[in-house]
Structure 1
Amino acid sequence: MSLTSFGPANLIKRSAETHPLTWRLRDDGEPVWLDEYQAKDGYAAARKAFADMAQDDIVQTVKDAGLKGRGGAGFPTGVKWGLMPKDESMNIRYLLCNADEMEPNTWKDRMLMEQLPHLMIEGMLISARALKTYRGYIFLRGEYTTAAVHLRRAVEEAKAAGLLGKNILGSGFDFELFVHTGAGRYICGEETALINSLEGRRANPRSKPPFPAAVGVWGKPTCVNNVETLCNVPAIIGNGVDWYKSLAREGSEDHGTKLMGFSGKVKNPGLWELPFGVTARELFEDYAGGMRDGFKLKCWQPGGAGTGFLLPEHLDAQMYAGGIAKVGTRMGTGLAMAVDDSVNMVSLLRNMEQFFARESCGFCTPCRDGLPWSVKLLMAIEHGEGQPGDIETLLGLVGFLGPGKTFCAHAPGAVEPLGSAIKYFRPEFEAGIAQAKPGVPPLARPIVIGA
């Protein structure tokens, strides 16, 4: 599967007017370095922001455009920017790019960083100007070794061109940018765990409030944004709010475009920049080409392992946060996974929950103990050794690990696919329930009150 798989030629005709994130991509998949990037209007938006716009005007433009975070949570970016303190005496503040892309089945940020590193740097430069941050860090997933090489080269190119460092574009504004590779923990996708890791601490989420905008890196005001989120900023500043809002399909409450994809046993797995509001069916059938010959679509996840399963009849849902919420789950990262009819859902969920249990930071009891319990139960069911009441116990864990029940959103995301799998495919779980054999003690089971 190519990271630059953009579907049939008659469907994708990328241009600056319709594909602000991907129109500069090379057909050969090689990185777009500084000279080529500037020849394709690169850093023009940054020059506009520095020469023609007040810092508060940049924040207001992003807010008016309705840009939302592209990491999965979907929080309005302009609102987050507006939380940064206005007090000019607080001159030490930081901008962090969350590039710790460890959500299973998600690789959109990797493509942007490997092939368009200057787009992200330009987005960070404009954002730093708006937020009055003098230093930025790209917190990069440690396994993204190619992205690290490309980003570091792009940072050096930008420094040599006077686009990073001291007195950028003669404005008197200074901004230093560093690439920091992480040690490989899924929990670092949570912004405060990322901050702790950057500081050299254990990657545990922090209690909020205070929020990072008030107390972040080394106790200073900090803004954390996702890679794809920052890559939207140059186009918004360059082309304006009305243009950006016009990109989405009718009916979508989200604005702009989104990197979406489909993996699994589809004919054309890949990644595409599409307008918010496109239907999942269009993404699945027209771009991903439907299922490979000999396979049938059983169910699908709309945006990473932490989103709930949906059925084939849900493919008519529009791909935006509210559209996917209408059919019972979250859009997440927007990179969908097709599950074919040969897959046993118990085995699939056991594999997923093992990942989430391993990646728990262990700070709070529901997550630390609840996720391993779910794995233990699923393993028993998978081997036909489940006992009556195990499914009810799993559903009890889904409730006790749900939103608002744990210290951060790790556990709620982990159990969302489990709850949906039992909802739609309960007979597969029931098939693994067997009566205990005479003389064989039952496996130890967690006590779940009210299950």
Structure 2
Amino acid sequence: SLEGKPGQPRLKPPFPAVQGLFGQPTIINNVETIVNVPIILEHGGDYFHSWGTPKNGGTKVFGVSGHVKRPGIYEFPLGKVTMRELIYDHCGGILDDRPLKAIVPGGASCPVIDPTELDVILDFDSLKAVGSMLGTAGAIVIAEPTCIVQALLRLSSFYQHESCGQCTPCREGTGWVVRILRAIEEGRGRPEHLTMLETICGQMEGNTICAHGDAAAWPVQGVLKKFRPEVEAHITGKGCPYHGRQGHAGSEWTTKAQSWADQTLKGGASW
């Protein structure tokens, strides 16, 4: 789009470092990389690497948002801090001391982890071992009584909106994911919808020019793996149990569920 063309990814190679903006060699780096360069130039790569572990060297900047008392930016050596320490020692714990429900550990595309995995070490290998990713280390903390289906619907709507439409699996897949999740959230879900979601995500994953299709598929796959009973409860109960249709109707959790979901997915988190 900087060249005045549609904002669509190109097949690679050639990579931007060889042929990028206006056909010229173009270097693209994240701000975090640029910030680390002076330290490495002054002290050397071995010095920077020594801050982490042998397999996960250096430091990482964690951006924590969602239902924590002290959201913000935190830098730690890789492999030296657990998710529990990040949330409860550095971020002050969960807002209003609510029960923790889920964590998106590395950015919106990363599969969620649940409270049983709080002691996972924050590095690339450890999060991969529990079925997620460190990614860009943009952690989103989700507390009860947030509805996981509503959270996933908001996230999937973002991926549908941001799809450039060039690749059919992504263009059509993100749309169908949103339709199905909306049906489940509104009480129109059917048992076969879960199989449909798994099939659609499998078709998006690895079949697009850029990683947008993968990024849209992984959160859905993660929720179906870690929170499948809650998704199934939406189907069997003909609606969201957190929003007063059944189960929790009239409870304190029900009356606050919508505002908590809105806080997580709008103002309080980078979904």
| TM class, shorter-length | 0.7 to 0.9
For the aligned residues, what is the CA RMSD? 1.7
Structure 1 segments, 4+ long, off by >6 Å, are none
The equivalent residue for 2:165 is 362
1:299 aligns with 2:102: yes
Measured after TM superposition, the shift of residue 335 of structure 1 is 2.0
Question: Paired residue for 2:12, among 188, 197, 208?
Answer: 208
Tell me how far 1:419 sits from its aligned partner: 0.8
Q: Is the Cα contact below 8 Å between 1:263 and 1:270 reproduced in 2?
A: yes
Residue among 194, 198, 208 paired with 1:406: 208
Tell me how far apart the structure 2 counterparts of residues 353 and 202 of structure 1 sit (CA, whole Å): 22
The structural deviation recorded for 1:344 is: 0.8
Per-residue CA deviations over 1:289-312 (Å, capped at 9, x if unaligned) read: 221234111110111111110011
In the alignment, does 2:116 pair up with 1:308? no
| Structure 1 residue 388, shift from structure 2 partner | 2.9
- Are residue 269 (structure 1) and residue 74 (structure 2) matched? no
AA at the equivalent of 1:415? A
**Aligned counterpart, 1:417:** 219
Matched-pair contact (CA < 8 Å) for 1:261–1:283: no
Match of residue 246 from structure 2 = none
The amino acid that maps onto 1:287 is H
Larger Rg: 1 or 2?
Answer: 1
**TM-score when normalising by structure 2:** 0.83
Question: 2:60·2:78 contact (CA, 8 Å) conserved in 1?
Answer: yes
Matched position secondary structure for 1:223: coil
CA distance, structure 2, for counterparts of residue 307 and residue 291 of structure 1: 21
Task: Give unpaired runs (5+ residues) of structure 1.
Answer: 1-196, 437-451
Q: How high is the sequence identity, in percent, across the aligned residues?
A: 43
SS at match of 1:432: helix
CA offset digits 1:267-288 (Å, max 9, x no partner): 2211111111122221112101
Matches within 5 A, 1:310-349: 310-349=113-152
Equivalenced residue count is 237
> Is the CA contact (8 Å cut-off) linking 2:69 and 2:93 kept in structure 1?
yes
Structure 1 294/319 Cα, relative in aligned 2: closer, same or farther at 3 Å? closer
Structure 2 equivalent of residue 284 of structure 1: 87
TM-score by length of 1: 0.51
From 210, 226, 240, the counterpart of 2:44: 240
On the 8 A contact 1:265/1:340 being kept in 2, the answer is: yes
The aligned residue for residue 392 of structure 1 is: 195
* Structure 2: runs of 5+ lacking an equivalent: 239-271
- What secondary structure is seen at the aligned counterpart in 1 of 2:102? strand
Look up the match of 1:432. Answer: 234
Letter in 2 for 1:340: A
